[in-house]
Amino acid sequence: MRKSANLTLASDDPQSPERSTSQTVKAQLKLRELILSGDLPSGVRIAELTLVETLGASRTPIRAALAQLEQEGLLQALPSGGFAVASFSERDIADSIELRGSLEGLLARLAAERGAAPVVLAEARAALQAIDALLCQATLPDESFSQYVATNERFYTLLAEMGGSDVIVRQLERINRLPFASPSAFVIAQSSAADSRDMLVVAQAQHWQVLDAIERREGARAEAIMREHSRIAQRNLRFVVTHHGGSAAPPVPGLQLIRRR
């Protein structure tokens, strides 16, 4: 009993690996928020000491967070040392969306060929039914758009689970962490478009088609639908870059990182 009383819990030890990892994750999340909000402009060298004061963390977790964000693609290493916030051309973002579509297509094909668990198929069907209910509205107010985004992301999470490949899912998660590549990246920004609801209806029809292909074990069809589905995100990208420079436009996190032609 005496011996156990002298033990220090890992979570209370500032030098413990668990606490260090927690601090790194917190620093990473805060840094990503600063980048996407525009508080850290692209191309300018990031001062570690400033981040220490801003984030209230020590230099070790901040350095680890900076290295992780470089791996994600949000930061670029400078020849002189340190990091700067990366910027992206329209082609960079388009390529990221294309890659996401390829990975999602592969997961859909694997789900069809390997057979998805009935419980996961049922959850995916319920998510799509919830989206159908939202799209029955004549117009989509902000709250409905937010519900759409959350349910849409739920469907994609279930789709990834159906594929049964941790290797592919890890690569897909890395792509989705980029500010413009995730399935819902431009949905809220696109809400101001006159045909926004029509495009969501088209996307929803493709969701149902890919689920049907998976249930019927039609791998090639499921893959083709998901690859084609990414074309909607490409359209959304062009719309946002063209129409969202004004102050009245809905905010797009990270839009300032896109290099204009």
CATH classification at residue 34: 1.10.10.10
For 255, which DSSP code? G
Question: Is beta strand 258-259 parallel, antiparallel or unpaired with respect to 88-89?
Answer: parallel
CATH classification at residue 95: 1.20.120.530
In a domain, 192, yes or no: yes
Task: Specify whether 196 is located in the same domain as 237.
Answer: yes
List the chain pLDDT tens, one digit each, 261 residues.
444 444 333 444 445 555 556 788 888 888 888 888 788 888 889 988 889 988 888 999 999 999 988 888 889 999 988 999 988 888 888 899 999 999 999 999 999 999 999 999 999 999 999 999 999 887 777 788 778 888 999 999 999 999 999 999 999 998 887 767 887 776 655 555 556 677 888 899 999 999 999 999 999 999 999 999 988 888 878 877 776 654 444 456 677 788 765
Task: Specify whether 141 is located in the same domain as 246.
Answer: yes
Of 86, 117, 135, the one marking the end of a domain is 86
pTM for the full model? 0.74
With 0-12 / 13-18 / 19 or more C-beta atoms within 10 angstroms meaning exposed / middle / buried, residue 84 is middle
Q: Answer for the pair 88, 259: CB distance below 8 angstroms, yes or no.
A: yes
What pLDDT score was predicted for residue 14?
46
